[in-house]
Amino acid sequence: MRKLLFAAFCCGNILSVSAQATDDGFEYMDLGLSVKWATCNVGAEAPEESGYYFAWGEIAPKSEYSWSTYRYCTDGKGKKFSKYAYRKRQGERDRKTTLDLVDDAAHANWGGNWRMPTNDELAELREGCRFVLEELNGVKGLRAYSKVNNNSIFIPFAGGYSLNELTEVGIVGEYWSSDLEYRADMYNRGSTLAKCSVFPPKDIMQGYAPRFLGMPVRPVWDDSAYNKSQNVSYDDVGFFTMENKPDQFQLKYPLYGHRPMSFVSVNDRDNGGSGKTWAHLETEKKYVSKRSITVIMGSF
């Protein structure tokens, strides 16, 4: 259940109301922007904590961040990719420029309507807030105050990983967006880079970086997430995993031309707190394909 926590104070003739909401144990702040922003990074338990560091398109932290350890790099050099390959010469070309939810570190770890911000949403944060240098519990960072309602979030200078070295902690904050940078320059354009935002003490910048680098992720809560399509996969026992939790959903395409399967139950699955759901399928077949299909989220 979503809980709204309100705090109000009066100063002269000015009344300021701050609304902070919690859902599934994670908190967000309404900054009056198009999405609501989490109050801490993925993997953090407090706003000043760095949390986990992710390569772009990966959903778990690791000990080394390089092309040779990057999930979707097939040549170990950053020239060939098995997913998010925009140019034909760069691997299995799919022209995907935005992370699927299954590769979204915020959604994979927090579930629900949480996801990584787009580059445009990071730009909106930059333009829609004023930033003040702050030290919170001994950690340096920026306090982003909304120009709309004066609500705020703290963004720690968490630095980032290259290989097994964490650098620039306490100096700068580097945060991934969910967007591929496929038009950077003649050498790098295509699949090598992803868009990010850099939060230094002054002059917040939007840029891009090699996908293998490890950066924190600051999630956003998207009220429309349940109405989006996503791919799901079946396992051998006839269950499918899906990371959103809609009340109703339907198949967009039947498998192999057979009649559409029907879902007869939807319940939470005990999966280490991942928030994934399961549903039993009624079909004419005794087995269920492992191939991914698409479902339409929402009510029908």
* Cα 100–chain centre separation: 9
Q: pTM for this one?
A: 0.71
Shared domain check, 112 and 252: no
pLDDT value at residue 88: 84
Question: Would you put residue 28 in left (φ > 0), alpha (ψ -120 to 50) or beta?
Answer: beta
Q: Where is the domain boundary, 221, 245, 277?
A: 221
pLDDT digits (tens, 9 = 90+) for 183-234: 866 555 679 999 999 999 988 999 999 999 999 999 999 987 544 444 444 3
Can you tell me the distance from the alpha carbon of 166 to that of 215, in angstroms, rounded to the nearest whole number?
10
Q: Where is the domain boundary, 191, 221, 251?
A: 221
Q: Angle CA(73)–CA(274)–CA(33) in degrees, nearest 5?
A: 80
pLDDT value at residue 290: 32
Can you tell me the distance from the alpha carbon of 108 to that of 52, in angstroms, rounded to the nearest whole number?
13
- Residue 163: which domain range? 3-221
Shared domain check, 215 and 234: no
Per-residue model confidence as pLDDT tens for the chain (300 residues): 333 333 333 333 333 445 466 557 899 999 999 999 999 999 999 999 999 999 999 999 999 999 999 999 999 999 999 999 988 889 888 989 999 999 999 999 999 899 999 999 999 999 999 999 999 999 999 999 999 999 999 999 999 999 999 999 999 999 999 999 988 665 556 799 999 999 999 889 999 999 999 999 999 999 875 444 444 443 333 334 444 444 333 333 333 333 333 333 333 333 333 333 333 333 333 333 333 333 333 322
Can you tell me the distance from the alpha carbon of 216 to that of 205, in angstroms, rounded to the nearest whole number?
16
Cα-based distances in Å from 82 to 94, 95, 188, 219, 239: 9, 11, 17, 25, 26
Shared domain check, 274 and 143: no
Shared domain check, 188 and 293: no
Shared domain check, 191 and 66: yes
Can you tell me the distance from the alpha carbon of 227 to that of 95, in angstroms, rounded to the nearest whole number?
23
Tokens (6 digits) for 203: 């002059």
pLDDT value at residue 70: 98
Query: Of 149, 144, 114, which is closest to residue 127 (Cα–Cα)?
Result: 144
Shared domain check, 247 and 156: no
Shared domain check, 88 and 46: yes
Shared domain check, 189 and 246: no
pLDDT value at residue 22: 59
Q: Where is the domain boundary, 183, 204, 221?
A: 221
pLDDT value at residue 126: 97
pLDDT value at residue 92: 83
* Cα 121–chain centre separation: 12
Shared domain check, 251 and 185: no
Domain tally for the chain? 2
pLDDT value at residue 89: 86
pLDDT value at residue 168: 97
Helix ranges (DSSP H) in the chain: 105-110, 119-128
Rounded to 5 degrees, what are φ and ψ at 263? -90, 130
pLDDT value at residue 20: 66
DSSP assignment of 67-91: GGG-TTBSSSSSS-BSSS--SGGGB
Shared domain check, 211 and 66: yes
Cross-sheet strand order for the sheet of 129-136: 129-136, 139-146, 152-156
Shared domain check, 217 and 229: no
Shared domain check, 248 and 141: no
pLDDT digits (tens, 9 = 90+) for 159-191: 999 999 999 999 999 999 999 998 866 555 679
Cα-based distances in Å from 15 to 129, 144, 150: 19, 20, 11
pLDDT value at residue 188: 59
